[in-house]
Amino acid sequence: MSMNSLQDLFVQQLKDLYSAENQLIKALPKMAKGATTPELRKAFESHLEETRNQAGRIEQIFKAESLQGVPGGHKCKGMEGLVAEGSEILEEKGDQNVLDAGIIAAAQRVEHYEIAGYGTARAMAKLLGYTTAEQMLSKSLDEEAAADEKLTSIAEKYIYAAVPQNGK
């Protein structure tokens, strides 16, 4: 793909987000299975449905804004790395609360990556006059921010207090 305009960059950003969401659709069930705190498991299961909807919104944006191409066909390397880091935590042995805290840390890195991606794409949509895309991207951005806040809440309420301090 040739990058000669904001429009070209916007399409590339949407493809990157689409790839990221589809990678998460595969990773979230593994994260839910690896989580031992029931609230954390439920949060991942709930976010899986949101993630599917977010991928669907990107498909809708391509149709609604008559964008060239399709959302697929691109690999988000950033998300690939974040998912790989999260997978490493799932393979670790040790205190379950510590491991759940590690899973949350990995998941929050993912959320922050998506927040950056959706915020950038939304700003581009606004500049390009894509009102429908801007609204859909805002909805996904809000969901990602809420997921991040929920992970923080779960960590503070259920996990951090149970984590051994200083290896003791």
We report the CATH number of the domain holding residue 52 as 1.20.1260.10
In a domain, 1, yes or no: no
In a domain, 48, yes or no: yes
In a domain, 97, yes or no: yes
Q: How far apart are CA 21 and CA 154, in angstroms?
A: 22
* Structure token pair of residue 64: 């609604």
Q: How far apart are CA 143 and CA 137, in angstroms?
A: 10
Q: pLDDT tens-digit profile of 124-150?
A: 999 999 999 999 999 999 999 999 999
Q: pLDDT tens-digit profile of 7-17?
A: 999 999 999 99
- Structurally, the chain folds into a number of domains equal to 1
Place of tokens 């690999």: 75
Residue 159's pLDDT is what? 93
This prediction has a pTM of 0.94
Let me know if 139 is exposed, middle or buried by CB neighbors in 10 A (0-12, 13-18, 19+): middle
In a domain, 167, yes or no: no
Range of the domain at 25: 6-162
